[in-house]
Amino acid sequence: MLTGNSVPGNLRPAADAPLNPKRDSAADLDLDRVRGRVADFEEIIERAQRSQFAGDPPHVADAFLQHDPILAWRLLDLFDAYRSGSAHPRERLPRFIDRAIDTKLQLYNVARVIPGTENALVYLRGFDPANPLATPSLQLARLCYEQAMIGQSRVLWDRLMRLIYYIEEGRDPEGKSNRRVFFRDLSRWSPRWDPLSEWEDEIDTYDAVYRTPEYHKGSILKKELLGGQALDPNETSSLLAPVMNGIWTMLMANVQGTPHNIVRLGRRVGRFTGAPPSVPP
């Protein structure tokens, strides 16, 4: 049985909005300006993605970009769905969409800039993974990009958690750790974000194995440089998978106040079974 304030499943009560034509007209003008800024951002990202295919026929670019996981975050659609819906207070829309832009921009950095630049400036210049010190400058550059991936993957998740927290609570997480506050409160929003729950352990282990030692202790990359086992790039980029597989669908459903059919995000594999690497100070 539902109580007076209960809502079933993913559905929410409509936000109350007292009628005031003059105020609403001014608010609509402000939202139009915000939408224009979103459109400018989206155009920049799409032009950047299309530039990869500058020498190809247009139909080739269209074929690849149709399923591009970065362009799949259609922020104008998100803006319009939020604005026309009643699942969330309209006055929160500008701050919400700002956080969505932050998240997509970071997704572009992690999914496109880091791997694309590494490929162009390391692998296409002759780096041989089987003999990395044959080109020491390229090996050092590659390790630099690996460090960037470790740090910026976690920035991506911090921005994603901030975005989701804002849509649910109307404020940012309070405290020193976005991760701790976010996963502490995740069950309050059930079932809308339930598939995210399994990623708490993934993030904790990622921090223990990669982020914390590399950024706050002795570098885990120097071991590889001096002849140790190479890091698996599939592992250092593992936090990217769920952001490219399902979170957008969940986000749109949340904004529209409708259920989603996402059960799991990406592919979760028991990668991190050992203790974090021992790195001398």
The predicted-structure confidence for 20-58, as pLDDT tens digits, reads as follows 555 567 778 899 999 999 999 999 999 999 998 888 888
In b/e form, how buried is each residue of 86-122, taking b as 16+ CB within 10 angstroms?
ebbebeebbebbebbbbbbebbbbbbbebbeebeeeb
Q: Give the pLDDT band (50/70/90) at residue 176.
A: confident
Tracing tokens 């210049």 back to the chain, one arrives at: 125
Given a cut of 60, whether residue 272 has pLDDT beyond it is no
Res 20: pLDDT = 56
pLDDT value of position 107: 97
pLDDT of 274: 40
Tokens of 186: 């995740």
Q: What is the mean pLDDT of the chain?
A: 86
- In 3D, which of 158, 155, 207, 164 has the Cα closest to residue 179? 158
Quick check: 101 and 38 in contact, CB under 8 A?
yes
Helices (H) and strands (E) in the chain, counts: 13, 0
Least confident of 17-21, 42-46, 237-241, 259-263: 17-21
Question: 85-113, pLDDT tens digit by residue?
Answer: 999 999 999 999 999 999 999 999 999 99
pLDDT the model gives residue 52: 87
Q: What is the model's pLDDT at position 266?
A: 64
Residue 117 backbone phi and psi in degrees, to 5? -70, -40
Quickly tell me which residue has 């572009």 as its tokens.
108
pTM for this prediction: 0.83
What is the Cα–Cα distance from 7 to 136, expressed in whole angstroms?
60
Torsions phi, psi for 47 (to 5 deg): -60, -40
> In the predicted model, is pLDDT for residue 267 greater than 90?
no
User: Is residue 270 very low, low, confident or very high in pLDDT (cuts 50, 70, 90)?
Assistant: very low
Three-state secondary-structure class, residue 140:
helix
Instruction: Return the SS3 of 205.
Output: helix
Section 237-246 average pLDDT:
89
- Predicted local distance difference test score (pLDDT) of residue 2: 33
Task: State yes or no: pLDDT of 174 exceeds 70.
Answer: yes
* pLDDT value of residue 23: 56
For residue 60, give every residue at least 6 positions away whose Cβ sits within 8 Å of its Cβ, in sequence order, or none.
53
Distance set, CA 247 to CA 9, 44, 240 (Å): 18, 22, 11
In this prediction, what percent of the chain has a pLDDT beyond 90?
Answer: 68
Tokens at 199, concatenated: 């990623």
pLDDT value at 150 more than 70: yes
Angle at 90 between CA 93 and CA 77, to 5 degrees: 55
173 in Cβ contact with 138 (< 8 Å) = no
In whole angstroms, give the CA distance from residue 179 to residue 184: 8
pLDDT at 75 over 90: yes
Tell me if 102 sits within 8 A of 163, measured CB to CB.
Answer: yes
Is the pLDDT assigned to residue 79 strictly greater than 90?
yes
The pLDDT of 178-204, averaged and rounded, is: 94
What is residue 64's predicted lDDT score, i.e. its pLDDT?
A: 83
**What pLDDT shows up at residue 87?**
94
Question: Between residues 28 and 156, which one has the greater pLDDT?
Answer: 156
Give the per-residue pLDDT at 13: 42
Residue 212 has pLDDT above 80, yes or no: yes
Q: Which residues contact 11 (CB under 8 A, 6 or more apart)?
A: 257, 258, 259
